[in-house]
Amino acid sequence: MVNETQHACSASSSSRSDGGSSSGSESSKDNSRCSTPVLDSDRHERLREKMRRRQDAGDKWFSLEFFPPRTANAAVNLISRFDRMGAGGPLFIDVTWHPAGDPGSDKETSSMIIANTAVNYCGLETILHMTCCNQTKDDITGHLQKAKRLGLKNIMALRGDPSGEEWEEEVDGFNYAVDLVKHIRNEFDDYFDICVAGYPKGHPEAESYEADLRHLKEKVFAGADFIITQLFFRPETFLKFMKDCQAIGITCPIIPGIFPIQGYHSLRQLVKLSKLEVPQEIKDVIEPIKDNDAAIRNYGVELAVSMCRELLDSGMVHGLHFYTLNREVATTEVLKRLGLWREDPRRPLPWAVSAHPKRRVEDVRPIFWASRPKSYIYRTQEWDDFPNGRWGNSSSPAFGELKDYYLFYLKSKSPREELLKMWGEELTSEESVFEVFTCYITGEPNRNGYKVTCMPWNDDPLATETNLLKDELERVNRRGILTINSQPNINGKPSTDPIVGWGPSGGYVFQKAYLEFFTSSEIVTALLKVLKKYELRVNYHIVNVKGQNITNAPDLQPNAVTWGIFPGREIIQPTVVDPVSFLSWKDEAFALWIEQWAKLYEEESPSRMIIQYIHDNYYLVNLVDNDFPLENCLWQVVEDTFELLN
């Protein structure tokens, strides 16, 4: 046993380094050790590797298919759906390619931009569909280059529906999906993982089932990594197809496409498009209840669950692909009943990671964007390097400006009317603003009976963790300390803690108490006097919209405020209070007063002028209590400030 090398190590540990060849950043590439600590191996694997690892571990998985929306509003909703359904733990999602919808454009409804948003802003492993017929080589290469640039790593290579009835093969054109597969491998080598479609009943245009199987084999041998099938209605259809594939030498993963019937009309439409026949036993059930949507959906769920069970029980199926039709309820229900929906409260890092490959090593962010991760990703999208291990040592350039507060993936989920109900149709004083903040914290309805479920700085209800501070936050907001971000101190809780835990199990997480708020210059003047007493314990940054900046931070160094210690790993410190980024954040934080709130009201209206006054005159303050093992002193700092004022 002793002679067994469990982990072979190829490091030429005793060879003297050549000073000349190992200089600068080049040497890291020559280095035999892994170049970065791996907190979450998922982030470092390609989709096909993830698939293989899950299969090897006997760990069943699912994936979700969406189509691009038609309107900007629908895009906002779809992104929220990505966030919600992403929480169930899909191995990937895929976004279909709609040739009619300008799929490669920069429009917020294009396939390309929706897939980009899923990867970068929702952190989802994503496959972008791409069709090839009726397109030039240059068009296709352009699309693929753009996809690569946006961080997409997986392509579903399809022929697409030829336009016009009388389709004829083009010489040297892209006539079949296999041409696209070959093109991708020729032009992009092994960069993309490639998926192709399989037809358990044979492609409707194929000469025969057997001929179609041969086409599929060609696609796989041309470089496809796995197969997703067209929908089917009987498990035996898929299982036979799979055996037939294996019989002719197709060994890559074949993922059954599952279509939970969600309504009479959607079924009919899909059947028409796919040229499939609905089995008589299903028609017999559906026809009598065709006007009862709920009944049909319930039946669809039953049917899907039983089919999926049979597939999984066969031992041949490791993952299930769901045609969601952009709807949540039926698919989620099926997944929950199958036990595949795993809303894992444990997070790899305290913030939502992006799936862009260039952000693979990113593991430090400023705390300021904690509630606006998509804005953070947007403002750092041009960076070539991302902070890893430390913030101060990162080679990250300056933040991009946030000019457009209405980008669809940053936009509030609530329409203007709802926001007015929450934040006040009419503001009469600064105190009426204090009330809005207080209601958001307490969850109590405002004076007009509406609950305040979001704020300009936070589009979601209060985080569970912030709830730990609810009483204190309520007290200070009532008095004009308008909090927008906070965290309690934590002195070593298990990394599996349901509220504050993150990272792999067996570790311990820590935090320094943090409080960030807007407040008046009168309060700031008193606060600064009080802070003198806490000089060695509390770090502060105080800034107004003009950039006047007061801080006691040493040498503009970042202060790590969240960190974790894990077995066999280096320290991870995912959030910092960074004095330099704070000045970028303050531009955004102040602008949100105007962009999200003031602009709800008429120009020159008293409500708008109150928000404008706050924007022009208040300060944005952040406080860190460095003594994390002791009781959080920040509340005392605030109490002392109020006392001084009285």
Which 549-578 residues touch a second copy, going by CB under 8 A?
A: 549-560, 563, 565-571, 573, 576, 578
- Whether 334 and 261 have beta carbons less than 8 Å apart is answered as no
- Residue 496 sits in the site that holds a second copy (CB under 8 A): no
- Whether 564 and 509 have beta carbons less than 8 Å apart is answered as yes
Among 84, 205, 525, 606, binds a second copy (CB under 8 A): 525
Q: How far is the CB of 303 from a second copy (least distance, A)?
A: 42
Q: How far is the CB of 231 from a second copy (least distance, A)?
A: 39
Judged by CB under 8 A, which stretch of 16-24, 59-67, 173-181, 212-220 contacts a second copy? 16-24
Q: How far is the CB of 567 from a second copy (least distance, A)?
A: 4
- The structure tokens listed for 292 are 């009862």
Rg of the chain (C-alpha set): 28
Q: Is 612 exposed, middle or buried (0-12, 13-18, 19+ CB in 10 A)?
A: middle
**Distance separating alpha carbons of residues 614 and 475, to the nearest angstrom:** 20
Please report, to the nearest 10 degrees, the dihedral formed by the alpha carbons of residues 481, 485, 491, 495 taken in order: 160
- Residue 30 sits in the site that holds a second copy (CB under 8 A): yes
- The structure tokens listed for 229 are 């099938």
Taking the least distance from each CB to a second copy, the nearer of 36 and 414 is: 36
Contacts (CB under 8 A) with a second copy, residues 336-375: none
Taking the least distance from each CB to a second copy, the nearer of 628 and 635 is: 628
Taking the least distance from each CB to a second copy, the nearer of 80 and 496 is: 496
Q: How far is the CB of 550 from a second copy (least distance, A)?
A: 5
Taking the least distance from each CB to a second copy, the nearer of 115 and 543 is: 543
Count of H helices and E strands in the chain?
A: 21, 18
Among 255, 628, 632, 637, binds a second copy (CB under 8 A): 628
**Distance separating alpha carbons of residues 558 and 354, to the nearest angstrom:** 22
- Residue 14 sits in the site that holds a second copy (CB under 8 A): yes
Backbone angles phi, psi at 136, to 5 degrees: -85, 160
DSSP state of 222: T
Taking the least distance from each CB to a second copy, the nearer of 226 and 386 is: 386
Taking the least distance from each CB to a second copy, the nearer of 263 and 507 is: 507
Q: How far is the CB of 554 from a second copy (least distance, A)?
A: 5
Taking the least distance from each CB to a second copy, the nearer of 67 and 628 is: 628
Using CA atoms, how far residue 192 sits from 125, 222, 318, 321, in Å, is 13, 13, 22, 20
At 321, the amino acid letter reads H
Judged by CB under 8 A, which stretch of 5-13, 61-69, 160-168, 440-448 contacts a second copy? 5-13
Contacts (CB under 8 A) with a second copy, residues 568-627: 568-571, 573, 576, 578-581, 583-584, 587, 619, 624, 626-627
Q: How far is the CB of 506 from a second copy (least distance, A)?
A: 6
Q: How far is the CB of 508 from a second copy (least distance, A)?
A: 7
- Whether 541 and 553 have beta carbons less than 8 Å apart is answered as yes
Among 195, 213, 542, 610, binds a second copy (CB under 8 A): 542
Burial 485-521 (b: 16+ CB within 10 A, else e): bbbbbbeebebeeeebbbbbeebbbbbbbbbbbbbbe
Backbone angles phi, psi at 509, to 5 degrees: -115, 150
Backbone angles phi, psi at 227, to 5 degrees: -125, 135
Q: How far is the CB of 199 from a second copy (least distance, A)?
A: 40
- Residue 16 sits in the site that holds a second copy (CB under 8 A): yes
Burial 1-29 (b: 16+ CB within 10 A, else e): eeeeeeeeeeeeeeeeeeeeeeeeeeeee
Among 315, 343, 629, 646, binds a second copy (CB under 8 A): 629
Contacts (CB under 8 A) with a second copy, residues 278-317: none
Contacts (CB under 8 A) with a second copy, residues 382-421: 382-385, 388-401
- Whether 23 and 30 have beta carbons less than 8 Å apart is answered as no
Taking the least distance from each CB to a second copy, the nearer of 394 and 432 is: 394
Q: How far is the CB of 360 from a second copy (least distance, A)?
A: 13
- Residue 536 sits in the site that holds a second copy (CB under 8 A): yes
**Of 319, 434, 274, nearest in space to 51 by CA:** 319
Contacts (CB under 8 A) with a second copy, residues 473-492: 491-492
Judged by CB under 8 A, which stretch of 164-172, 298-306, 433-441, 539-547 contacts a second copy? 539-547
Taking the least distance from each CB to a second copy, the nearer of 272 and 532 is: 532
- Residue 185 sits in the site that holds a second copy (CB under 8 A): no
- Residue 27 sits in the site that holds a second copy (CB under 8 A): yes
Instruction: For tokens 């700092």, name the residue.
Output: 637
Taking the least distance from each CB to a second copy, the nearer of 259 and 566 is: 566
- Whether 228 and 220 have beta carbons less than 8 Å apart is answered as no
Taking the least distance from each CB to a second copy, the nearer of 272 and 403 is: 403
User: How much of the chain is in helix, strand and coil states, percent to nearest 5?
Assistant: 40, 15, 45
SS3 192: coil
DSSP state of 597: I
Q: How far is the CB of 627 from a second copy (least distance, A)?
A: 8
**Distance separating alpha carbons of residues 155 and 196, to the nearest angstrom:** 9
Among 34, 57, 100, 247, binds a second copy (CB under 8 A): 34
Torsion-angle region of 502 (φ positive above 0: left; ψ -120 to 50: alpha; else: beta): beta
DSSP state of 388: B
**Distance separating alpha carbons of residues 253 and 463, to the nearest angstrom:** 39
**Distance separating alpha carbons of residues 258 and 305, to the nearest angstrom:** 10
The terminus-to-terminus CA distance of the chain in angstroms comes to: 75
- Residue 11 sits in the site that holds a second copy (CB under 8 A): yes
- Of the candidates 26, 45, 65, 401, the residue annotated as catalytic is 65
Taking the least distance from each CB to a second copy, the nearer of 194 and 410 is: 410
Judged by CB under 8 A, which stretch of 28-36, 254-262, 279-287, 603-611 contacts a second copy? 28-36
Q: How many CA atoms lie within 13 A of 100 on its CB side?
A: 6
- Whether 316 and 85 have beta carbons less than 8 Å apart is answered as no
Contacts (CB under 8 A) with a second copy, residues 500-519: 506, 508, 510
Q: How far is the CB of 522 from a second copy (least distance, A)?
A: 10
- Residue 539 sits in the site that holds a second copy (CB under 8 A): yes
Catalytic residue check, 65: yes
Among 251, 280, 548, 646, binds a second copy (CB under 8 A): 548
Contacts (CB under 8 A) with a second copy, residues 141-180: none
Sign of CA dihedral 171, 130, 262, 265: negative
SS3 400: coil
Judged by CB under 8 A, which stretch of 315-323, 449-457, 523-531, 601-609 contacts a second copy? 523-531
Applying CB under 8 A, what is the total number of residues that bind a second copy?
A: 103
Q: How far is the CB of 548 from a second copy (least distance, A)?
A: 6
- Residue 6 sits in the site that holds a second copy (CB under 8 A): yes
Q: Which of the residues are catalytic? A: 65
